[in-house]
Structure 1
Amino acid sequence: MAAQFGRLRKGAVNTTVAAVVVAALAASQAPGVTTDDAGRKVTTGTQPSPDASAEDSATGNSPYYTDLPPLNSPNPSPTTGTPDIPTQTEAGIPATVLDAYKKAAAALREAKPGCNLEWELLAAIGKVESGQARGGRVGADGTTLSPILGPQLNGNGFASISDTDGGAYDGDSSYDRAVGPMQFIPSTWEWAGRDGNGDGKKDPNNIYDAALAAGHYLCRNGWDLSTQGDLDRAILSYNNSRDYLNLVMRWVEYYRKGTHEIPDGTGTLPSDRSDDNAGAAPSPSPTPPRAPTTPSAPAKPDGNGGSTSPKPTPPGPTPPGTTPPAPTPTDTVDHLEDAGTAKLTAMAGDTFTKRISTRAETEAGKGVAKVRVRFTITGATGATFSTGEKYATLLTDSAGEAVAPALKAGEDTGEFVVRATVVGRAIAGLDYTATVTERAADTLTRTSDTELTCTPGGEFAEQVEVKATYKGAVADKVAATATLVKSADDPAENDKGPYFKDADGNPVRTLKDLETDEHGLLTLPKLYADDTSGTFLLRINTAGGATLTVELTVAAAEPTESPSPSASPSA
């Protein structure tokens, strides 16, 4: 959807200057030339690729506001008694909205420091998508005072995205709509949504939740937003339009020069949208006529301080002379089938060697190419994909198959589920169960060959240190126990001989809850001996079955011979 830069603010510049500004903007913000994975030169941020999918963008490529920032710098911030000039008004961001952007950026600095997300980027997108939540018209918790809904994405001038949420987020059970101050479509919010204000809910109408979700969305795929190439890709993934990229970058640069906090509800409201035929866009392309749609009724108070969205109006028959949109590959998908995924098992902290493969098929069982399949890790688990995220969206190949990124196990043992769904279709998902086992070792060896000896009532000079490995590789964070046993054939704890000491200095002959370090090493505490002499055994066991028995000797010191007296010299 090509954006049309609309009317500039009253009294700012004339139409000729506006044309120059937009042309300069397009040139100054034109994406740079970089290289792809194969070393070919490509231009970042160009027009959408043939495989680009509205369903897989944050907004579904919905319309957005095209108002340009003022031409002059936002600095200095206004002081008491200063006239409210356009520059200062636009530089002001409502207090709650600004707080949400800054807190989201701070959270991303901690969760994904390599992303280098600036709060100014969130502010720029929030400005373009909703005019900073309609000028900051939000409650104390950050929830918008009334729902912010985009137009029905029914393919009539926009992307065609059939309902994916039963109207739960957007109040429309026929088609999806972009929702909230950051304008997420329901199918994207379902996996990208976050709880930014700690109330236990993920609400796209809450600026704290939406800003944090936008930050995580922009930081996915390992992108580093301090580089222009990744920044362009991230913005284009939010709304796949070069005009959108240029406009967002313009606002980013404007906010970088300075901004200030203003009271909630006092922000300026944008007036020009990318789907608005009016305006002073230079050489605008004619827009094909669209069938009129029934406007949505305003939201009504629900009696609890919130509001309820109106029930959607079912789409009417196609007007005469209007060609219905051609079915997409997604429209032909009937179900998902497993494409030969092997058993999914890995130890805690390891990467799964097998990957999930899913096939999108028609009712007749034929594979469907170029369909977006989303894989989502569900449940409370530390598992992620190799990208560091709990979701991944892939395009099916010519055989209709999509292979998910490798899974990486967390530290939680047990089972978790990965669900595969078709983006843009309300058909049953396909679940894959994966199992995480505890970290294990299959071999234990001492790191020293020194004999371990001690005199009765004394202490051993050397501490026992062992190294754990699994299939030849270092086995880190593996649980272990150490017990002074009675004999090689009797693993019961000995009641005499060498011992460890607890925090109070009492004898202890079994140590539990031990763990190897990152190098697979385990160093036991110092050993002591009672008055019993003899040979004793220390047995070390790890998860996975590795066992090592170490011999300890307690014996009295051998007396040393005194030198023979010298013979007296003869007289």
Structure 2
Amino acid sequence: MAAQFGRRLAKGATTTAVAALAVAALSASQAPGVTADDNGRTTTAGAAEVSPDPVAGNGATGNSPYYTDLPPLNTPSPAPTDGSTPSVSPVESEAGIPATLLDAYKKAETELRASKPGCNLPWQLLAAIGQVESGQARGGRVDADGTTTSKILGPQLDGNGFALIKDTDHGVYDGNSSYDSAVGPMQFIPSTWAWAGRDGNGDGVKDPNNIYDAALAAGHYLCRNNWDLATGAGLEDAILSYNPSRHYLNTVLSWLEYYRKGTHEIPDGTGTVPGSRSDGSTGGSTPSAPSTSAPGTTAPSRPGNGSTKPKPTPPAPPSTTPPSSGGPSTPPSTPPVTPTESVDHLEDSGTPKLTAMAGDAFGDKISTRAENAAGMGVPKVRIRFTIVGDTDATFAGGEKVATALTGSSGVATAPALQAGETTGSFTVRTTLIGRTVTAPDYTATVTQRVADTLVRTTTTALTCAPNGEFADAVQLKATYKKAVADKVAVTATLITSADDATENAKGPYFKDADGKTVRTLTGLTTDADGLLKLPQLYSDDTTGTFLLRVTTAGGATLDVTLTVAAPGTDASTSPEPSPSPSASS
């Protein structure tokens, strides 16, 4: 595998070199004064400023450099279906996607499926662009909010081998008040982010350094022209609008196809950083540490920093120099420990017994606490809650999986559970996003729908001549705690007497599908309004007063009086109705 991967990298580097020569030749044919410096970067004398408008041809990234490494040759592992995070070897990390980034890509797809269904955006396309633009945020170096632990900046777009895009954001995003640079894991230039930016994690801020914000923005950017990404033409147009390079297109499509075949989640910070870039610089085989380069120099280990051979440039004034993402005192070999990395285990945080009636929302929510080895709560880490088992229960919103961020005490509260129609118990499994630790499972139980009151909807007397049929049907309404009790199971039985609930052998009866006499009906349910209309009632030649007892799940009971008498006569004998625990009629 290692040898194969090395050959693949070499192939990518060769392709990059050919592409660079072609670009240089094309540039020389179109503009006078184009030369190459010692590092192979082209320098254009009097380069014209490029419009930040993506329609003008510089895309979302300002044509900034990107990673050219192709997917590994090994077959990717399928993602687990139980919400767990598999352990992976360093080689497998080439194919894996860091947990928080994978979560962000899938959330963006869900939002776009709802807001722009005709676009058909697959999350794997966002993952492919994230891989090509930033090596999945340098192998997943993000905190629990999804913000990169240090800024990912492309080279300043000063016309020296790159597009000329003068400052549009006063250095707010890229720290440079002279020229723009591509920013964040999806490498947006500030002028594009100004209109394309989105708040993907609901914190009220549109931050290009946050993968939830950047992934959602990239999704909207790719879907902005009503392209259908399920078609080849629409997919190509969208990718080329992000970066108008055929080589870029082919690289992204390679990763898209690879991720579509299956991938898996790996812990944040454990991904492999690609090794080759379109401008001839290199990435790295391990997650990059924060840059410690002095102002005015380039650091090849940081995405978007230009050539392989760092070449000092005159220092810029302090106000126009991008802030260093680290510092001289920060050892490159010891990146800062993220909150996720400090979690030792998850434990329950006082979750009550989880029970709800079918169709209802659970009254209590699951609370889980993230703790470090010392038993202290860890804030700002993301916990995933996954419903498993034979159930149609969901979280509010209809999802089987939900995520929540821990607060200052380390506690995360899951969204409310919504019971479906399937009764019985199911499990809610908790996992820490970005790392595998011990975690609790929760048992939730769905009980059948019930009613505590049952009444007739009319007071009309129910009478019939011998061997005839009752003119009026029996219609009932069920309630529970004075609210409509819908979809409640009901049983109706013609009983012997108020004190003897055995089935009567004479008097009124129902008919089954074959027209045969039946005196007990099961499988009945109330409708959405809690109403139930019983089938037609008939009578044999026995006269008198009879009882129909109707019962529901939950204990509601109603006795209904039925009279069978010849026309012009009074009913003679028979069972006298008596009040039931709920009602009688």
TM-score (norm 2): 0.54
After TM superposition, give the deviation of residue 538 of structure 1 in Å.
0.1
Provide the rounded CA distance (Å) in 2 between the counterparts of 1:333 and 1:258. 39
Specify which of 96, 100, 104 is matched with residue 56 of structure 1.
100
Residues 250 and 230 of structure 1: CA distance in aligned 2, closer, same or farther (over 3 Å):
closer
After TM superposition, give the deviation of residue 411 of structure 1 in Å.
1.0
Which residue number in structure 1 is paired with residue 473 of structure 2?
Answer: 463
Contact 1:370 1:397 in 2 (8 A): yes
Contact 1:131 1:270 in 2 (8 A): no
Which residue number in structure 2 is paired with residue 415 of structure 1?
Answer: 425
After TM superposition, give the deviation of residue 441 of structure 1 in Å.
0.9
**Mapping for residues 132-531 of structure 1, pairs under 5 Å:** 157-160=138-141, 240=211, 248-254=219-225, 256=227, 261=232, 269-270=247-248, 276=277, 278=279, 288-290=299-301, 322-531=332-541
After TM superposition, give the deviation of residue 120 of structure 1 in Å.
2.7
Residues 389 and 236 of structure 1: CA distance in aligned 2, closer, same or farther (over 3 Å):
farther
Which residue number in structure 1 is paired with residue 183 of structure 2?
Answer: none
After TM superposition, give the deviation of residue 54 of structure 1 in Å.
7.1
After TM superposition, give the deviation of residue 399 of structure 1 in Å.
0.9
Specify which of 37, 47, 51 is matched with residue 20 of structure 1.
51
Secondary structure of the equivalent of 2:470?
A: coil
Provide the rounded CA distance (Å) in 1 between the counterparts of 2:566 and 2:456. 25
Aligned amino acid, residue 102 of structure 2: A
Provide the rounded CA distance (Å) in 2 between the counterparts of 1:414 and 1:334. 33
Aligned amino acid, residue 248 of structure 2: P
After TM superposition, give the deviation of residue 385 of structure 1 in Å.
0.5
Aligned amino acid, residue 58 of structure 1: L
Which residue number in structure 2 is paired with residue 303 of structure 1?
Answer: none
Asked if 1:540 corresponds to 2:550, the answer is: yes
Count of residue pairs the alignment pairs up: 371
Paired-residue identity, %: 46
After TM superposition, give the deviation of residue 237 of structure 1 in Å.
11
Provide the rounded CA distance (Å) in 1 between the counterparts of 2:104 and 2:114. 23
Aligned amino acid, residue 340 of structure 2: T
Provide the rounded CA distance (Å) in 2 between the counterparts of 1:252 and 1:422. 32
Provide the rounded CA distance (Å) in 1 between the counterparts of 2:208 and 2:359. 30
Secondary structure of the equivalent of 2:502?
A: coil
Residues 321 and 434 of structure 1: CA distance in aligned 2, closer, same or farther (over 3 Å):
closer
Provide the rounded CA distance (Å) in 1 between the counterparts of 2:550 and 2:341. 60
Aligned amino acid, residue 376 of structure 2: K
Which residue number in structure 2 is paired with residue 118 of structure 1?
Answer: 117
Residues 524 and 421 of structure 1: CA distance in aligned 2, closer, same or farther (over 3 Å):
same
1:61-111 superposed Cα distances (whole Å, 9 cap, x missing partner): 99xxxxxxxxxxxxxxxxxxxxxxxxxxxxxxxxxxxxxxxxxx9xx8xxx
After TM superposition, give the deviation of residue 116 of structure 1 in Å.
4.0
Provide the rounded CA distance (Å) in 1 between the counterparts of 2:115 and 2:530. 33
Contact 2:201 2:212 in 1 (8 A): no
Provide the rounded CA distance (Å) in 2 between the counterparts of 1:374 and 1:478. 34
1:39-60 superposed Cα distances (whole Å, 9 cap, x missing partner): xxxxxxxxxxxxxx97433277
Provide the rounded CA distance (Å) in 2 between the counterparts of 1:346 and 1:259. 41
Please give the root-mean-square deviation of Cα atoms over the aligned residues, in Å.
4.7
Secondary structure of the equivalent of 1:270?
A: helix
1:445-496 superposed Cα distances (whole Å, 9 cap, x missing partner): 1111111111112211110011111111111111111000001111111110
After TM superposition, give the deviation of residue 506 of structure 1 in Å.
2.0
Residues 492 and 260 of structure 1: CA distance in aligned 2, closer, same or farther (over 3 Å):
closer
Secondary structure of the equivalent of 1:486?
A: strand
After TM superposition, give the deviation of residue 290 of structure 1 in Å.
2.5
Residues 122 and 366 of structure 1: CA distance in aligned 2, closer, same or farther (over 3 Å):
same
Aligned amino acid, residue 354 of structure 1: D
Contact 2:454 2:478 in 1 (8 A): yes
Aligned amino acid, residue 361 of structure 1: E
Which residue number in structure 2 is paired with residue 203 of structure 1?
Answer: none
Secondary structure of the equivalent of 1:122?
A: coil
Provide the rounded CA distance (Å) in 1 between the counterparts of 2:379 and 2:229. 47
Provide the rounded CA distance (Å) in 1 between the counterparts of 2:280 and 2:55. 18
**Mapping for residues 12-91 of structure 1, pairs under 5 Å:** 19-21=50-52, 55-58=99-102
Of 456-465 and 236-245, more deviation after overlay is shown by 236-245
1:182-231 superposed Cα distances (whole Å, 9 cap, x missing partner): xxxxxxxxxxxxxxxxxxxxxxxxxxxxxxxxxxxxxxxxxxxxxx9989
Residues 402 and 457 of structure 1: CA distance in aligned 2, closer, same or farther (over 3 Å):
same
Contact 1:57 1:238 in 2 (8 A): no
Secondary structure of the equivalent of 1:419?
A: strand
Provide the rounded CA distance (Å) in 2 between the counterparts of 1:238 and 1:498. 76
Secondary structure of the equivalent of 2:341?
A: helix
After TM superposition, give the deviation of residue 242 of structure 1 in Å.
6.7
**Mapping for residues 542-557 of structure 1, pairs under 5 Å:** 542-557=552-567
Provide the rounded CA distance (Å) in 1 between the counterparts of 2:363 and 2:469. 47
Contact 1:499 1:509 in 2 (8 A): yes
Secondary structure of the equivalent of 2:211?
A: coil
